[in-house]
Chain A
Amino acid sequence: MPRIQLLVVQPTPFCNIDCRYCYLPDRTNKAVVAEATLTNLFSQVFASGWVRDGVTIVWHAGEPMVLPIDFYRRAFRLIDGLKPADLSLTHSFQTNGTLIDDAWCEFFAAEQISVGVSIDGPQPLHDINRRTRSGNGTFVRTIAGIRRLRRHGVPFHVISVLSPESLAAPREMFEFYVDEGIERVCFNVEESEGGHVSRSFGEAGIADSYYRFLREFWRLAAASPDKFAFIREIDEATQQVLRPEEAVFFNQLVEPFAITSMDWAGNLATFSPELLGLKNAAYDNFIIGNINRDRLIDLPQQPVLKKMLADITAGVELCRQHCEYFSVCGGGEPVNKLAENGTFVSADTTYCRMSKMRATDLVLDLLDGVEQRGAVLSEEGIRQLGAVVIASDSNDAAVPFA
Protein backbone atom coordinates (compact mmCIF):
# COMPACT_ATOMS: atom_id res chain seq x y z
CA MET A 1 0.00 0.00 0.00
CA PRO A 2 1.37 3.44 -0.86
CA ARG A 3 2.33 5.73 1.95
CA ILE A 4 1.83 9.46 1.55
CA GLN A 5 4.26 11.43 3.66
CA LEU A 6 4.15 14.80 2.02
CA LEU A 7 1.25 16.41 0.23
CA VAL A 8 2.15 19.39 -1.93
CA VAL A 9 -0.87 21.52 -2.77
CA GLN A 10 -0.84 24.34 -5.29
CA PRO A 11 -3.59 26.78 -4.32
CA THR A 12 -2.76 28.95 -7.32
CA PRO A 13 -0.10 28.80 -10.01
CA PHE A 14 0.30 32.57 -9.88
CA CYS A 15 3.43 34.20 -8.51
CA ASN A 16 3.77 37.90 -7.83
CA ILE A 17 7.46 37.93 -8.79
CA ASP A 18 9.43 36.53 -11.71
CA CYS A 19 12.69 34.90 -10.68
CA ARG A 20 15.17 34.38 -13.46
CA TYR A 21 15.71 30.72 -12.61
CA CYS A 22 12.04 29.80 -12.17
CA TYR A 23 11.07 26.67 -14.08
CA LEU A 24 7.29 26.97 -13.60
CA PRO A 25 5.68 27.72 -16.95
CA ASP A 26 2.28 28.76 -15.63
CA ARG A 27 3.18 31.42 -13.10
CA THR A 28 1.08 34.20 -14.66
CA ASN A 29 -2.11 32.16 -14.34
CA LYS A 30 -4.33 33.52 -11.54
CA ALA A 31 -6.58 30.48 -11.21
CA VAL A 32 -7.45 29.36 -7.66
CA VAL A 33 -8.18 25.87 -6.40
CA ALA A 34 -11.85 25.25 -5.64
CA GLU A 35 -13.00 24.15 -2.20
CA ALA A 36 -14.67 21.17 -3.83
CA THR A 37 -11.28 20.10 -5.18
CA LEU A 38 -9.74 20.36 -1.72
CA THR A 39 -12.63 18.34 -0.31
CA ASN A 40 -12.11 15.65 -2.94
CA LEU A 41 -8.41 15.51 -2.23
CA PHE A 42 -8.44 15.37 1.52
CA SER A 43 -11.48 13.15 1.90
CA GLN A 44 -9.87 10.59 -0.41
CA VAL A 45 -6.42 10.89 1.12
CA PHE A 46 -7.73 10.34 4.64
CA ALA A 47 -10.02 7.50 3.55
CA SER A 48 -7.29 5.74 1.57
CA GLY A 49 -5.29 4.51 4.51
CA TRP A 50 -2.21 5.82 2.74
CA VAL A 51 -1.50 8.33 5.51
CA ARG A 52 -0.45 6.64 8.68
CA ASP A 53 2.20 8.30 10.81
CA GLY A 54 1.30 11.87 10.07
CA VAL A 55 1.51 14.06 7.03
CA THR A 56 2.88 17.45 6.13
CA ILE A 57 0.92 19.64 3.75
CA VAL A 58 3.03 22.11 1.84
CA TRP A 59 1.15 25.03 0.33
CA HIS A 60 3.38 25.78 -2.59
CA ALA A 61 2.77 27.44 -5.90
CA GLY A 62 3.29 30.01 -7.43
CA GLU A 63 3.23 32.18 -4.39
CA PRO A 64 0.72 30.90 -1.84
CA MET A 65 0.44 34.23 -0.05
CA VAL A 66 -1.14 35.97 -3.03
CA LEU A 67 -4.37 34.39 -1.78
CA PRO A 68 -6.07 35.99 1.21
CA ILE A 69 -5.68 34.63 4.71
CA ASP A 70 -9.36 33.78 4.79
CA PHE A 71 -8.83 31.31 1.95
CA TYR A 72 -6.50 29.33 4.21
CA ARG A 73 -8.73 29.70 7.27
CA ARG A 74 -11.54 28.06 5.33
CA ALA A 75 -9.26 25.43 3.85
CA PHE A 76 -7.78 24.49 7.22
CA ARG A 77 -11.20 24.13 8.80
CA LEU A 78 -12.32 22.05 5.85
CA ILE A 79 -9.33 19.77 6.31
CA ASP A 80 -9.84 19.62 10.08
CA GLY A 81 -13.38 18.50 9.47
CA LEU A 82 -12.24 15.61 7.28
CA LYS A 83 -9.13 14.55 9.18
CA PRO A 84 -9.10 11.56 11.51
CA ALA A 85 -8.81 12.87 15.05
CA ASP A 86 -5.63 11.00 15.82
CA LEU A 87 -3.75 11.94 12.66
CA SER A 88 -0.86 14.38 13.05
CA LEU A 89 -0.94 17.02 10.35
CA THR A 90 1.34 20.00 9.81
CA HIS A 91 0.74 22.89 7.46
CA SER A 92 3.73 24.49 5.76
CA PHE A 93 4.15 27.47 3.48
CA GLN A 94 6.95 28.15 1.04
CA THR A 95 6.91 31.85 0.24
CA ASN A 96 9.00 34.56 -1.34
CA GLY A 97 8.29 36.61 1.77
CA THR A 98 7.33 39.79 -0.04
CA LEU A 99 3.73 39.78 1.21
CA ILE A 100 4.30 38.97 4.87
CA ASP A 101 2.53 41.48 7.07
CA ASP A 102 1.42 41.49 10.71
CA ALA A 103 -1.84 39.74 9.91
CA TRP A 104 0.00 36.88 8.19
CA CYS A 105 2.37 36.58 11.13
CA GLU A 106 -0.55 36.31 13.54
CA PHE A 107 -2.10 33.66 11.33
CA PHE A 108 1.15 31.66 11.14
CA ALA A 109 1.41 31.78 14.91
CA ALA A 110 -2.21 30.87 15.56
CA GLU A 111 -2.06 27.89 13.20
CA GLN A 112 1.53 26.92 14.05
CA ILE A 113 2.46 26.90 10.41
CA SER A 114 5.97 26.03 9.27
CA VAL A 115 7.23 28.89 7.17
CA GLY A 116 10.00 28.72 4.60
CA VAL A 117 11.18 31.94 3.00
CA SER A 118 13.16 32.03 -0.22
CA ILE A 119 16.02 34.50 0.03
CA ASP A 120 19.31 34.15 -1.79
CA GLY A 121 21.56 36.01 0.64
CA PRO A 122 22.47 39.68 0.95
CA GLN A 123 20.91 42.15 -1.47
CA PRO A 124 23.56 42.11 -4.23
CA LEU A 125 23.34 38.32 -4.43
CA HIS A 126 19.58 38.00 -3.92
CA ASP A 127 18.64 40.58 -6.50
CA ILE A 128 20.65 38.90 -9.25
CA ASN A 129 17.85 36.43 -9.82
CA ARG A 130 14.90 37.20 -7.58
CA ARG A 131 13.14 40.03 -9.36
CA THR A 132 9.74 41.49 -10.11
CA ARG A 133 8.23 41.32 -13.56
CA SER A 134 9.49 44.84 -14.16
CA GLY A 135 13.01 43.69 -13.37
CA ASN A 136 13.46 45.22 -9.93
CA GLY A 137 15.07 43.30 -7.08
CA THR A 138 12.84 41.90 -4.35
CA PHE A 139 15.34 41.86 -1.50
CA VAL A 140 13.96 44.87 0.38
CA ARG A 141 10.47 43.41 0.55
CA THR A 142 11.67 39.90 1.38
CA ILE A 143 13.95 40.94 4.21
CA ALA A 144 11.17 43.13 5.60
CA GLY A 145 9.00 40.03 5.74
CA ILE A 146 11.70 38.05 7.50
CA ARG A 147 12.22 40.77 10.06
CA ARG A 148 8.50 40.85 10.70
CA LEU A 149 8.46 37.09 11.28
CA ARG A 150 11.23 37.55 13.81
CA ARG A 151 9.40 40.36 15.59
CA HIS A 152 6.37 38.12 15.94
CA GLY A 153 8.43 35.17 17.11
CA VAL A 154 7.35 33.01 14.17
CA PRO A 155 9.85 30.19 13.57
CA PHE A 156 11.00 30.01 9.98
CA HIS A 157 13.74 28.70 7.79
CA VAL A 158 15.17 30.11 4.61
CA ILE A 159 16.03 28.48 1.31
CA SER A 160 18.83 30.13 -0.62
CA VAL A 161 19.52 29.20 -4.21
CA LEU A 162 23.27 29.32 -4.75
CA SER A 163 24.39 31.15 -7.86
CA PRO A 164 27.95 31.16 -9.19
CA GLU A 165 28.33 34.52 -7.42
CA SER A 166 27.17 33.30 -4.02
CA LEU A 167 29.20 30.11 -4.31
CA ALA A 168 32.21 32.41 -4.34
CA ALA A 169 31.00 34.28 -1.26
CA PRO A 170 30.50 31.90 1.67
CA ARG A 171 31.59 34.46 4.25
CA GLU A 172 29.18 37.08 2.94
CA MET A 173 26.37 34.54 3.04
CA PHE A 174 27.32 33.45 6.57
CA GLU A 175 27.49 37.01 7.87
CA PHE A 176 24.17 37.85 6.28
CA TYR A 177 22.36 35.05 8.10
CA VAL A 178 24.02 35.89 11.38
CA ASP A 179 23.29 39.60 11.06
CA GLU A 180 19.64 38.91 10.29
CA GLY A 181 19.20 36.31 13.01
CA ILE A 182 18.43 33.58 10.48
CA GLU A 183 19.06 30.28 12.28
CA ARG A 184 17.69 27.66 9.89
CA VAL A 185 19.25 27.57 6.47
CA CYS A 186 18.80 25.37 3.40
CA PHE A 187 20.88 25.68 0.26
CA ASN A 188 19.55 24.79 -3.15
CA VAL A 189 21.64 24.71 -6.28
CA GLU A 190 20.27 26.28 -9.41
CA GLU A 191 19.13 23.30 -11.42
CA SER A 192 18.25 22.63 -14.99
CA GLU A 193 14.58 21.72 -14.86
CA GLY A 194 11.80 21.91 -17.34
CA GLY A 195 12.61 24.69 -19.77
CA HIS A 196 15.16 26.31 -17.49
CA VAL A 197 18.82 25.72 -18.23
CA SER A 198 20.98 26.28 -15.17
CA ARG A 199 23.56 29.04 -15.43
CA SER A 200 25.52 27.33 -12.65
CA PHE A 201 25.67 23.99 -14.41
CA GLY A 202 27.38 25.67 -17.35
CA GLU A 203 30.25 26.88 -15.18
CA ALA A 204 33.47 24.92 -15.25
CA GLY A 205 34.31 23.37 -11.90
CA ILE A 206 30.93 24.15 -10.40
CA ALA A 207 30.88 20.98 -8.28
CA ASP A 208 34.21 21.88 -6.71
CA SER A 209 32.94 25.42 -6.12
CA TYR A 210 30.04 23.93 -4.22
CA TYR A 211 32.43 21.79 -2.18
CA ARG A 212 34.55 24.80 -1.26
CA PHE A 213 31.50 26.92 -0.43
CA LEU A 214 30.07 24.27 1.86
CA ARG A 215 33.40 23.64 3.55
CA GLU A 216 34.00 27.30 4.31
CA PHE A 217 30.43 27.87 5.45
CA TRP A 218 30.70 24.81 7.65
CA ARG A 219 33.95 26.04 9.17
CA LEU A 220 32.45 29.43 9.94
CA ALA A 221 29.29 27.94 11.38
CA ALA A 222 31.26 25.54 13.56
CA ALA A 223 33.01 28.53 15.07
CA SER A 224 29.66 30.00 16.07
CA PRO A 225 27.53 26.96 16.82
CA ASP A 226 25.02 29.01 18.78
CA LYS A 227 24.07 30.94 15.65
CA PHE A 228 22.46 28.12 13.71
CA ALA A 229 19.81 25.60 14.66
CA PHE A 230 19.82 23.86 11.33
CA ILE A 231 21.92 23.92 8.19
CA ARG A 232 20.21 21.41 5.98
CA GLU A 233 23.03 20.44 3.65
CA ILE A 234 25.52 20.01 6.47
CA ASP A 235 23.23 18.29 8.94
CA GLU A 236 21.96 15.87 6.37
CA ALA A 237 25.31 15.08 4.80
CA THR A 238 26.64 14.34 8.27
CA GLN A 239 23.68 12.16 9.11
CA GLN A 240 23.80 10.26 5.85
CA VAL A 241 27.47 9.41 6.23
CA LEU A 242 27.61 8.94 9.99
CA ARG A 243 24.55 6.80 10.39
CA PRO A 244 24.38 3.36 11.99
CA GLU A 245 24.69 0.54 9.50
CA GLU A 246 21.32 -0.82 10.58
CA ALA A 247 19.56 2.44 9.79
CA VAL A 248 16.77 2.24 7.26
CA PHE A 249 17.25 4.35 4.19
CA PHE A 250 14.44 5.60 2.04
CA ASN A 251 14.38 7.82 -1.04
CA GLN A 252 10.97 9.45 -1.18
CA LEU A 253 11.59 10.74 -4.66
CA VAL A 254 11.48 7.31 -6.26
CA GLU A 255 8.61 5.87 -4.21
CA PRO A 256 5.15 6.34 -5.73
CA PHE A 257 2.94 8.63 -3.65
CA ALA A 258 5.47 9.23 -0.86
CA ILE A 259 5.36 12.77 -2.14
CA THR A 260 2.06 13.53 -3.82
CA SER A 261 1.42 16.84 -5.54
CA MET A 262 -1.82 18.42 -6.68
CA ASP A 263 -2.25 21.53 -8.80
CA TRP A 264 -5.09 24.04 -8.61
CA ALA A 265 -7.18 22.06 -11.09
CA GLY A 266 -6.93 18.79 -9.18
CA ASN A 267 -4.26 17.18 -11.36
CA LEU A 268 -2.06 14.79 -9.43
CA ALA A 269 1.59 13.85 -9.77
CA THR A 270 4.14 12.01 -7.70
CA PHE A 271 7.90 11.39 -7.47
CA SER A 272 9.75 14.72 -7.85
CA PRO A 273 7.33 17.54 -6.99
CA GLU A 274 8.73 19.70 -9.77
CA LEU A 275 7.29 17.31 -12.36
CA LEU A 276 3.80 18.73 -11.84
CA GLY A 277 3.43 21.55 -14.30
CA LEU A 278 6.13 20.42 -16.72
CA LYS A 279 5.29 19.34 -20.24
CA ASN A 280 6.20 15.90 -21.54
CA ALA A 281 4.34 13.96 -24.20
CA ALA A 282 5.89 10.59 -23.35
CA TYR A 283 4.54 10.70 -19.79
CA ASP A 284 1.28 12.63 -20.29
CA ASN A 285 2.83 15.69 -18.65
CA PHE A 286 3.48 13.51 -15.58
CA ILE A 287 -0.19 13.75 -14.56
CA ILE A 288 -1.36 10.45 -13.13
CA GLY A 289 -4.97 11.47 -12.61
CA ASN A 290 -7.35 14.18 -11.48
CA ILE A 291 -8.90 14.10 -8.03
CA ASN A 292 -12.16 15.52 -9.38
CA ARG A 293 -12.46 12.70 -11.89
CA ASP A 294 -10.49 9.70 -10.64
CA ARG A 295 -10.40 7.71 -7.45
CA LEU A 296 -7.13 8.10 -5.58
CA ILE A 297 -6.97 4.42 -4.74
CA ASP A 298 -7.18 3.55 -8.46
CA LEU A 299 -4.20 5.68 -9.44
CA PRO A 300 -1.52 3.01 -8.86
CA GLN A 301 -3.01 1.19 -11.84
CA GLN A 302 -2.71 4.14 -14.21
CA PRO A 303 -0.55 3.21 -17.22
CA VAL A 304 1.40 6.47 -17.08
CA LEU A 305 2.32 5.86 -13.45
CA LYS A 306 3.44 2.32 -14.23
CA LYS A 307 5.54 3.59 -17.12
CA MET A 308 7.17 6.27 -15.00
CA LEU A 309 7.79 3.85 -12.14
CA ALA A 310 9.39 1.29 -14.44
CA ASP A 311 11.74 3.87 -15.93
CA ILE A 312 12.57 5.52 -12.60
CA THR A 313 13.24 2.13 -11.04
CA ALA A 314 15.54 1.24 -13.95
CA GLY A 315 17.41 4.50 -13.33
CA VAL A 316 17.75 3.70 -9.64
CA GLU A 317 19.19 0.31 -10.58
CA LEU A 318 21.81 2.01 -12.74
CA CYS A 319 22.76 4.15 -9.77
CA ARG A 320 22.88 1.12 -7.49
CA GLN A 321 25.18 -0.74 -9.87
CA HIS A 322 27.55 2.05 -10.79
CA CYS A 323 27.57 4.83 -8.21
CA GLU A 324 29.89 4.79 -5.21
CA TYR A 325 27.53 7.18 -3.45
CA PHE A 326 24.35 5.17 -3.82
CA SER A 327 23.99 4.61 -0.08
CA VAL A 328 23.75 8.33 0.65
CA CYS A 329 21.36 9.03 -2.17
CA GLY A 330 19.19 6.06 -2.94
CA GLY A 331 19.02 6.64 -6.66
CA GLY A 332 18.85 10.37 -7.10
CA GLU A 333 16.14 12.68 -8.24
CA PRO A 334 14.09 11.72 -11.29
CA VAL A 335 13.41 15.27 -12.46
CA ASN A 336 17.13 16.02 -12.68
CA LYS A 337 17.86 12.85 -14.61
CA LEU A 338 15.19 13.70 -17.12
CA ALA A 339 16.25 17.34 -17.47
CA GLU A 340 19.97 16.69 -17.72
CA ASN A 341 20.17 13.26 -19.32
CA GLY A 342 16.93 13.22 -21.26
CA THR A 343 15.67 10.06 -19.56
CA PHE A 344 14.71 8.66 -16.17
CA VAL A 345 16.74 5.60 -17.12
CA SER A 346 20.06 7.15 -16.32
CA ALA A 347 22.40 7.63 -13.40
CA ASP A 348 24.46 10.60 -12.32
CA THR A 349 23.75 14.23 -13.03
CA THR A 350 25.53 17.51 -12.43
CA TYR A 351 22.96 18.07 -9.74
CA CYS A 352 23.91 14.92 -7.86
CA ARG A 353 27.62 15.47 -8.41
CA MET A 354 27.21 18.77 -6.62
CA SER A 355 24.67 18.17 -3.95
CA LYS A 356 25.33 14.55 -3.07
CA MET A 357 28.79 13.51 -4.15
CA ARG A 358 30.71 16.62 -3.18
CA ALA A 359 28.81 16.99 0.08
CA THR A 360 29.68 13.39 0.92
CA ASP A 361 33.29 13.96 -0.14
CA LEU A 362 33.42 16.86 2.26
CA VAL A 363 32.24 14.82 5.23
CA LEU A 364 34.77 12.10 4.35
CA ASP A 365 37.54 14.66 4.05
CA LEU A 366 36.67 16.23 7.38
CA LEU A 367 36.68 12.83 9.04
CA ASP A 368 40.12 12.26 7.61
CA GLY A 369 41.01 15.76 8.76
CA VAL A 370 40.15 14.78 12.30
CA GLU A 371 42.73 12.03 12.00
CA GLN A 372 45.35 14.01 10.14
CA ARG A 373 45.24 17.18 12.21
CA GLY A 374 46.74 15.65 15.29
CA ALA A 375 45.09 12.29 15.42
CA VAL A 376 43.62 12.86 18.86
CA LEU A 377 40.65 14.94 19.80
CA SER A 378 40.74 16.40 23.25
CA GLU A 379 37.57 15.52 25.11
CA GLU A 380 37.77 18.74 27.06
CA GLY A 381 38.32 20.61 23.83
CA ILE A 382 35.26 19.07 22.33
CA ARG A 383 33.15 20.11 25.28
CA GLN A 384 34.43 23.64 25.09
CA LEU A 385 34.09 23.93 21.39
CA GLY A 386 30.93 25.95 21.49
CA ALA A 387 32.78 28.76 23.24
CA VAL A 388 35.67 28.82 20.84
CA VAL A 389 35.98 31.63 18.36
CA ILE A 390 37.96 31.05 15.25
CA ALA A 391 40.27 33.72 13.96
CA SER A 392 38.91 35.11 10.74
CA ASP A 393 41.38 33.58 8.33
CA SER A 394 42.73 30.63 10.24
CA ASN A 395 40.99 27.94 12.19
CA ASP A 396 44.02 26.55 13.94
CA ALA A 397 43.05 28.08 17.24
CA ALA A 398 39.60 26.66 17.11
CA VAL A 399 40.25 23.02 16.47
CA PRO A 400 39.91 21.15 19.71
CA PHE A 401 42.82 18.85 19.19
CA ALA A 402 45.13 17.94 21.99
Chain B
Amino acid sequence: MSLRQKYREIVAKLMTPGAIGMAVLLGSAAPGAASQEPAGQQPSSAQGERVSERLAAIREAVSAVAGAQDATTDAAGETRLAWGNWGGGFGFGLPWGNFGGGGPWNNWNNWRNGWHNWHNGWGNW
Protein backbone atom coordinates (compact mmCIF):
# COMPACT_ATOMS: atom_id res chain seq x y z
CA MET B 1 0.00 0.00 0.00
CA SER B 2 1.35 3.43 -0.85
CA LEU B 3 2.10 5.94 1.84
CA ARG B 4 -0.67 8.17 0.57
CA GLN B 5 -3.24 5.40 0.56
CA LYS B 6 -2.19 4.23 3.99
CA TYR B 7 -2.62 7.64 5.55
CA ARG B 8 -5.82 8.37 3.67
CA GLU B 9 -7.39 5.32 5.29
CA ILE B 10 -6.12 6.22 8.73
CA VAL B 11 -7.15 9.86 8.47
CA ALA B 12 -10.60 8.90 7.21
CA LYS B 13 -11.11 6.81 10.32
CA LEU B 14 -9.85 9.54 12.58
CA MET B 15 -12.25 11.99 11.01
CA THR B 16 -15.30 9.89 11.62
CA PRO B 17 -18.22 12.32 12.02
CA GLY B 18 -19.18 12.70 15.64
CA ALA B 19 -15.82 11.68 16.90
CA ILE B 20 -14.08 13.58 19.63
CA GLY B 21 -10.71 15.18 19.14
CA MET B 22 -8.07 13.49 17.09
CA ALA B 23 -5.61 13.78 19.94
CA VAL B 24 -7.90 11.73 22.13
CA LEU B 25 -8.28 9.09 19.45
CA LEU B 26 -4.57 8.91 18.84
CA GLY B 27 -3.77 8.75 22.53
CA SER B 28 -5.97 5.75 22.85
CA ALA B 29 -3.67 3.96 20.44
CA ALA B 30 -0.61 4.50 22.61
CA PRO B 31 0.86 1.37 24.11
CA GLY B 32 0.59 1.19 27.87
CA ALA B 33 3.34 1.80 30.35
CA ALA B 34 3.84 -1.94 30.72
CA SER B 35 4.88 -2.19 27.10
CA GLN B 36 7.52 0.50 26.96
CA GLU B 37 10.09 -0.12 24.30
CA PRO B 38 13.61 -0.82 25.45
CA ALA B 39 15.61 2.23 26.33
CA GLY B 40 17.46 3.66 23.39
CA GLN B 41 15.18 2.27 20.73
CA GLN B 42 14.63 4.91 18.15
CA PRO B 43 11.10 5.96 17.40
CA SER B 44 9.51 6.36 14.03
CA SER B 45 12.19 8.31 12.23
CA ALA B 46 14.17 5.08 11.86
CA GLN B 47 11.39 3.09 10.24
CA GLY B 48 12.19 3.59 6.61
CA GLU B 49 10.22 6.32 4.95
CA ARG B 50 11.52 9.81 5.40
CA VAL B 51 9.68 11.87 7.98
CA SER B 52 9.14 14.68 5.49
CA GLU B 53 7.52 12.27 3.05
CA ARG B 54 5.25 10.89 5.72
CA LEU B 55 4.21 14.37 6.81
CA ALA B 56 3.45 15.37 3.24
CA ALA B 57 1.38 12.23 2.69
CA ILE B 58 -0.58 12.81 5.89
CA ARG B 59 -1.41 16.40 4.98
CA GLU B 60 -2.47 15.41 1.52
CA ALA B 61 -4.72 12.82 3.11
CA VAL B 62 -6.20 15.37 5.51
CA SER B 63 -7.03 17.70 2.65
CA ALA B 64 -8.47 14.92 0.55
CA VAL B 65 -10.63 13.46 3.28
CA ALA B 66 -11.84 16.86 4.41
CA GLY B 67 -12.72 17.79 0.88
CA ALA B 68 -14.62 14.57 0.39
CA GLN B 69 -16.57 15.01 3.59
CA ASP B 70 -17.42 18.60 2.75
CA ALA B 71 -18.70 17.53 -0.62
CA THR B 72 -20.77 14.73 0.84
CA THR B 73 -22.47 16.80 3.46
CA ASP B 74 -23.10 19.64 1.08
CA ALA B 75 -24.73 17.36 -1.41
CA ALA B 76 -26.96 15.92 1.27
CA GLY B 77 -28.03 19.35 2.34
CA GLU B 78 -26.77 18.77 5.84
CA THR B 79 -24.66 20.93 8.04
CA ARG B 80 -21.36 21.47 6.34
CA LEU B 81 -18.56 19.62 8.02
CA ALA B 82 -16.15 22.50 8.12
CA TRP B 83 -12.68 22.23 9.56
CA GLY B 84 -13.81 24.47 12.30
CA ASN B 85 -16.04 21.73 13.62
CA TRP B 86 -13.11 19.52 14.33
CA GLY B 87 -11.17 19.48 17.49
CA GLY B 88 -7.55 18.86 16.64
CA GLY B 89 -6.74 17.91 20.18
CA PHE B 90 -8.05 17.90 23.69
CA GLY B 91 -9.15 21.44 23.20
CA PHE B 92 -12.44 20.74 21.59
CA GLY B 93 -13.14 23.34 19.02
CA LEU B 94 -9.57 24.38 18.42
CA PRO B 95 -10.24 25.02 14.79
CA TRP B 96 -8.08 24.04 11.92
CA GLY B 97 -8.96 27.41 10.55
CA ASN B 98 -6.28 28.92 12.73
CA PHE B 99 -3.70 27.77 10.26
CA GLY B 100 -5.39 29.67 7.49
CA GLY B 101 -5.19 32.87 9.48
CA GLY B 102 -1.47 32.57 9.59
CA GLY B 103 -1.14 33.66 13.14
CA PRO B 104 -1.77 31.05 15.79
CA TRP B 105 0.63 30.99 18.67
CA ASN B 106 1.23 27.36 18.15
CA ASN B 107 4.76 27.74 17.02
CA TRP B 108 5.85 29.89 19.86
CA ASN B 109 7.93 27.20 21.31
CA ASN B 110 9.09 26.59 24.80
CA TRP B 111 8.61 30.10 26.05
CA ARG B 112 5.04 29.95 24.94
CA ASN B 113 2.60 30.77 27.61
CA GLY B 114 -0.28 28.66 26.48
CA TRP B 115 -2.36 31.62 25.49
CA HIS B 116 -3.98 31.49 22.17
CA ASN B 117 -5.48 34.33 20.33
CA TRP B 118 -8.57 32.25 19.83
CA HIS B 119 -9.06 31.13 23.39
CA ASN B 120 -8.42 32.99 26.60
CA GLY B 121 -10.66 30.88 28.75
CA TRP B 122 -13.37 33.46 29.17
CA GLY B 123 -15.58 32.22 26.41
CA ASN B 124 -15.50 35.46 24.47
CA TRP B 125 -13.39 34.30 21.58
Q: Which residues of A contact B41 (CB under 8 A)?
A: 208
Q: A241-B58, A324-B45 are in contact. Are A6 and B105 (CB under 8 A)?
A: yes
**Least Cβ distance of A223 to chain B in Å?**
7
How many residues on the A side are at the interface (Cβ–Cβ under 8 A)? 112
In chain B, what residue has the closest Cβ to A354? B110
- Residues B62 and A373 in contact, CB atoms below 8 Å apart: no
- Residues A242 and B90 in contact, CB atoms below 8 Å apart: no
Q: Which residues of B contact A367 (CB under 8 A)?
A: 7, 10, 26, 58
- Residue A123 is within 8 A (CB to CB) of chain B in the complex: no
| Chain B interface bracket (under 10, 10 to 19, 20 to 34, 35 or more) | 35 or more
Chain A positions 353 through 383: 1 when the CB is less than 8 Å from some CB of chain B, otherwise 0:
0011110111111111111010011010011
- Residue B81 is within 8 A (CB to CB) of chain A in the complex: no
Chain B positions 74 through 109: 1 when the CB is less than 8 Å from some CB of chain A, otherwise 0:
000000000100001111101010111111111111
Q: A53-B103, A238-B22, A383-B18 are in contact. Are A333 and B28 (CB under 8 A)?
A: no
Which of B23, B27, B98 gathers the greatest number of chain A CB atoms within 10 Å? B27
Of A25-33, A78-86, A155-163, the one touching chain B = A155-163
Of A37-45, A124-132, A244-252, A307-315, the one touching chain B = A244-252
- Residue A116 is within 8 A (CB to CB) of chain B in the complex: yes
- Residues B114 and A186 in contact, CB atoms below 8 Å apart: yes
Q: Which residues of B contact A6 (CB under 8 A)?
A: 105, 108
Q: Which residues of B contact A155 (CB under 8 A)?
A: 120-122
Q: Which residues of A contact B28 (CB under 8 A)?
A: 219, 222-223, 385, 388, 390, 395, 398-400
Q: Which 6 A-B pairs have the closest CB atoms?
A: A155-B121, A235-B89, A222-B27, A247-B99, A219-B30, A324-B51
Could you write out 16 A-B pairs with CB less than 8 Å apart?
Answer: A5-B117, A159-B113, A208-B43, A230-B94, A230-B114, A235-B21, A235-B88, A239-B96, A240-B107, A245-B56, A247-B100, A274-B111, A336-B110, A356-B109, A364-B51, A366-B30
- Residues in chain A within 8 A of chain B (CB atoms): 3, 5-6, 53-54, 56, 58, 60, 90, 92, 94, 112, 114-116, 155-159, 171, 184, 186, 188-189, 191, 205, 208, 211-212, 215-216, 218-219, 221-223, 225, 228-232, 234-236, 238-253, 258-259, 272-274, 324-330, 332-333, 335-336, 351, 355-358, 360-371, 373, 376-377, 379, 382-383, 385-386, 388, 390, 393-396, 398-400
